[in-house]
Amino acid sequence: MAIALLVQNAEYLKEIESQRKLQCQSKAFLEETERSVPEKLQMPHECAANYERTIRELKLQHNQTLANLKTEMESERILLEEKIGKLKLNVSDVLLEKSRERQKQLQELHKENATLKAEIAALQSQLQIQKTPEMVYSSMPHINETYWFQCTNCQSLEMAVEEKALQLIQKEKMVEELQRFCRKFCKQLTQQDCAVNSFSPDWPKGLHCTPVVALAGQKLGVGQGERGLLMSLAVYSLHLWAQALQVSLSQQWKAAPITRARESCTGLQLLLHAAAVTR
């Protein structure tokens, strides 16, 4: 009986000891948990602070990147505007240079026209000289015909007239080529004036013209610009002169075509005077 009590007592002691150990472990775990609670409560605040700091840094970096991009875009825009301005100036200079060349060519055409007028006057004088012996022969029928047809002066005049006729035919072809050439110049100068007006705001606008010059421009389809006026004058005068030459060839050296040619030359002088007034 006593032995059984001792054994039972020993078991109770072991159970009490195990319970004490479990209590100590639970107490230690509880103390450790109590110590870790403030740290765990502080951790969300630290994470929030870290996140806010990261957000501020990202915002600063983003603003700096935007500022750099704006600066680069502004510099590129300024550089592009400078290049465009230089390109406009270069194109304007090229078009002005071409216009000057066209003006020189027009002046040369005016000189050729003056030369043609001088040749027409010379032909008119030769025709008058040729008609004079025929009138004398018709008024003096008793003159020896053999002597009359052997006149070297008449033969030389006939040869000169034939030569001049061939020259006039060649010059008529040349005038037709000049007319086509001048019409082509009209279109080119009109297009160049429009291009210069679009590139350069300081380019002079279209001028008002007199009715005579306006009529010439309407016949040739040219605008009222200064270069268009000069071109229309030159081409219209050449057109009148070519018509006079064609009529003179068809009428076999009569006086009326030469008079028309002289009228066309006088009309050219009036047109040039009108162009000078409009300028």
pTM confidence score:
0.29
Largest interatomic CA distance in the chain? 205
Q: Which residue has the tokens 């915002």?
A: 59
Burial zone of 190 (CB within 10 Å; 0-12 exposed, 13-18 middle, 19+ buried): middle
Residue 23: CB partners within 8 Å, gap ≥ 6? none
Burial class (CB in 10 A: 0-12, 13-18, 19+), 178: buried
Share of the chain above pLDDT 90, in %: 13
pLDDT tens per residue, the chain (279 residues)?
667 777 778 888 888 888 888 888 888 888 888 888 787 777 888 888 899 999 999 999 999 999 999 999 999 999 999 999 999 999 888 888 888 888 888 888 888 888 888 888 888 888 887 766 555 445 544 444 444 444 556 667 777 777 877 888 887 787 777 778 777 777 776 776 666 565 444 444 444 444 444 444 454 454 445 445 455 555 555 555 555 555 555 554 444 444 444 444 444 444 444 444 444
User: How many whole angstroms separate alpha carbon 64 and alpha carbon 62?
Assistant: 5
Cα distance between residue 236 and residue 230, in whole Å = 10
Render pLDDT for 55-98 as a digit per residue (tens, 0 to 9): 999 999 999 999 999 999 999 999 999 999 999 999 888 888 88
